[in-house]
Amino acid sequence: MQLNDATFARFSAWMREQSGMHMPESKKTLLQQRLLNRLTARQVSTYEAYLRVLQDPDEVQEQAIAVDLLTTHETFFFRERKHFDWMQHEVAAWPKNRALKVWSAASSTGEEIWSIAMVLAHQLGEQADWHVLGSDISLRVIAQANAAHYSLTRADGIPSTLMRKYCLKGVGKQDGSLLIAPVLRNKVGFRQINLAAPLPEIGLFDFIFLRNVLIYFDGDGKQDILNRVLKKLKNNAYLLVSHSESLYGLNDSLKLIQPGIYQYKSLAGV
């Protein structure tokens, strides 16, 4: 069962409308593979017929399934470790009477947000005034992140000290798995957010992780998302993207601190 170029272009346009994400021609095979089972589930024989299903305004659930399949990406604990080492150093002198808020804007299955929480709990204390928000467009990965339950095979990146303090190893039927400790789960919240749409009222943050997100959007989409996200940063706060990403020329209020880390200097000074 093949997906022709014209139909792929229509799928790409549909995805842009739904999520803002740009799907170049190089993603054609990925789209075919990830959606193939949905053709069977919906009892349609071609990708063209499945696209017609997605274009039906009444097919809200199927639309959500397709977006989920096409936007979910692999992640792991303490990915790009230097970012977490930098953050630990940065918050070491954080005033005890000042709340600290972090947003993981595309938290996927949760490894990033739990890595952040481990760093903050270890450095600031478990009872300090800090909170982390995780968001994603996919309700499925939000549910997985919120469950905070992972295979031990995914835990290689967790430093041993933090592993002992904040991860509960499964026994019996749960052998080979880990559960994030309740003391961290009490400091973290999740919600569904589409970064390509107007953002909800979530307050302002001291750190925003937007890593490996903008690479999936073209020029205008990238600029729009960046502008929306920056409105959620406090003045002098920090935006983190992947080490391999550059925001050069996208916003004059961002100052590069080190690879992937920018400080936001509001042009309004507030």
Find the CATH number of the domain harbouring 118: 3.40.50.150
The count of domains in the chain is 2
Let me know whether 188 and 165 are in one domain. Answer: yes
Tell me what pLDDT residue 269 has: 55
Q: Which domain holds residue 36?
A: 5-71
Let me know whether 11 and 66 are in one domain. Answer: yes
Let me know whether 178 and 94 are in one domain. Answer: yes
Let me know whether 139 and 220 are in one domain. Answer: yes
Distance linking the first and last C-alpha atoms of the chain: 56
Mark the ranges of the chain whose per-residue pLDDT is less than 50.
none
Tell me what pLDDT residue 72 has: 67
pTM, to two decimals? 0.86
Q: Is residue 269 part of a domain?
A: no
Kindly report the CATH number assigned to the domain that includes residue 9: 1.10.155.10
- Name the domain boundary from 43, 71, 99: 71
Report the C-alpha gap between 62 and 55 in whole angstroms.
10
Tell me what pLDDT residue 243 has: 87
Residues annotated as binding site for S-adenosyl-L-methionine?
A: 75, 79, 112, 136, 194-195, 211-212
Let me know whether 29 and 52 are in one domain. Answer: yes
Report the C-alpha gap between 265 and 234 in whole angstroms.
9
Residues annotated as binding site?
A: 75, 79, 112, 136, 194-195, 211-212
Do residues 179 and 149 touch, judged by C-beta distance below 8 A? yes
Let me know whether 125 and 61 are in one domain. Answer: no
